[in-house]
Structure 1
Amino acid sequence: MDWDRVEGNWKQFKGKIKEQWGKLTDDDLDQIAGKRDQLEGKIQERYGLEKDRARQDIDDWFGRQTW
């Protein structure tokens, strides 16, 4: 499964993303609008992570999702 599924169903995934990364605001999620690179950037900003760590955290989260 690729990221296009998340982007295409962003409204459904916003809740799951907020459960994982609670520091992200609703405004952040609206601005991200399913774009993975923007999600990485916001996670970096809110959690003070390096880009590679944010990318790995998203990959881990994505891999745990049940479709």
Structure 2
Amino acid sequence: MNWDQVKGKWKEYSGKIQSEWGDLTDDEVAEVNGDRRALEGKIQSKYGKSKEEAEREVDDFLSRH
């Protein structure tokens, strides 16, 4: 799967994203609105991860869904 597929079905994937990163609020997930970089930024700030760690986590999420 690629990010364009996630972005195109954002409402469907937003629940999966919130399950993956449970500290993200509904509002934060809605604010991302399919923007991968915005999601990575939220993961960085919420979990104290580096940019590279957040990118790896999103890549891992994509490979599993």
What band does the TM-score fall into relative to the shorter chain? Answer: over 0.9
* Structure 1 counterpart of 2:51: 51
Q: TM-score, normalised by structure 2?
A: 0.96
Amino acid at match of 1:5: Q
Letter of the 2:39 partner, please give it.
L
For 2:49, the aligned partner's letter is L
How high is the TM-score relative to the length of structure 1?
Answer: 0.94
In structure 2, the residue matched to 1:16 is: 16
Question: Per-residue CA shift, 1:11-39, capped at 9, x if unaligned?
Answer: 00011001100000001011100100000
Matched position secondary structure for 1:22? coil
Q: How many residues end up aligned between the 2 structures?
A: 65
More relative contact order in 1 or in 2 (CA 8 Å, sep 6+)?
A: 2
Aligned-residue sequence identity (percent) comes to 48
RMSD: 0.6
- Alpha-carbon shift at residue 2 of structure 1 (Å): 1.8
Partner of 1:33 in structure 2?
A: 33
Matches of 2:5 and 2:62, distance apart in 1: 11
